[in-house]
Amino acid sequence: MDKSSYLDMLYKIKEGGMSPEDALNILIKEPFSDLGYAKPDHHRHLRQGATEVIYGEGKTPAQIIGIAQALQSKGSKTVLVTRLVPEAASIIDNTVKINYDDVSRVGIIGPVPVPDGKGVIVVATGGTSDMPVAEEAAITAEALGNNVKRLYDVGVAGLHRLLGSVDELLSARVVVAVAGMEGALASVVGGLVSCPVIGVPTSVGYGANFGGMSALLTMLNSCASGVCVVNINNGFGAGYLASMINHI
């Protein structure tokens, strides 16, 4: 059940259309389902404003289907699945219709909601190689009800490319800056905009990049105010946080 469903239930109790005992029985059954291999959280939307997201890596297609069906049976209209390999997506699609993006490895079961965020989330990348992580952030944000603008390949090696998109950056309510190599994009963007910037370091780069550590440390040490940083390659975490900011 989502927040509106719980609110409807409370009004029914107030108006005498439902007894407190019947409501209690619903709430007792609601918090989670026990599938043996997973316990889908049905109160996640009520607590955090978004349905539980399924991390697909390491789960079988049958397990993902079971979790998704359990979530949808309790009123979750849109279920997001991250880090999903194409082979598993194809198997899942035979049972539960899933819209799968092979760049980000993200699948969406159910409809993409009409955007209800307050503004626009801009997702920018240093290079084209950062797109898988950026698309994970962008699609996550869209699945959570946000308008998303993509600015790809605007890294600091050709700063004029970024400066050519200043209007889009300044119109954003939050910017997700995705970059590997040295990860300078987040600091540069942070120095241009007045909104929060979420830095996403990626593992893109040569040996001294240390699998994303150099980009992570650069972003963590940003001298630009208003820059926060998520884990290496964590596009999902950035998209989720951007959505929370955009819905405040």
Q: What is the pLDDT of residues 48-86, one digit of tens each?
A: 778 888 899 999 999 999 999 888 887 788 899 999 999
Please report which confidence band the pLDDT of residue 1 belongs to, taking 50, 70 and 90 as the band edges.
Answer: low
Same structural domain, 99 and 150: no
Same structural domain, 151 and 242: yes
CB atoms within 10 A of CB 47: 9
* Residue at 131 is within a domain: yes
Distances in whole angstroms, Cα of residue 102 to Cα of each of 83, 105, 107 = 10, 5, 9
Enter the tokens of residue 195: 């909104």
Residue 118 gets the label, from left (phi > 0), alpha (psi -120 to 50) or beta, of alpha
pTM for this model (two decimals): 0.85
pLDDT at residue 192 in the model: 93
Domain range holding 62?
31-109
Same structural domain, 126 and 232: yes
Burial zone of 229 (CB within 10 Å; 0-12 exposed, 13-18 middle, 19+ buried) = buried
Q: Which of 109, 129, 150 is the last residue of a domain?
A: 109
* Average pLDDT of span 144-155: 94
150-179 pLDDT, tens digit each: 999 998 888 889 888 899 999 999 999 999
How many domains would you assign to the chain? 2
Same structural domain, 41 and 155: no
Mean pLDDT score of the chain:
89
pLDDT at residue 121 in the model: 97
pLDDT at residue 72 in the model: 86
* Residue at 49 is within a domain: yes
Look at residue 4 and tell me whether its pLDDT is greater than 80.
no
pLDDT at residue 231 in the model: 97
Same structural domain, 64 and 144: no
User: Quick one: which H or E segment has residue 226?
Assistant: none
Task: Of 121, 92, 120, give the one whose Cα is nearest residue 108.
Answer: 92
Q: Which of 63, 90, 109 is the last residue of a domain?
A: 109
The secondary structure of residue 111, as a DSSP letter, is P
pLDDT at residue 127 in the model: 92
pLDDT at residue 25 in the model: 66
Q: Which of 109, 140, 171 is the last residue of a domain?
A: 109
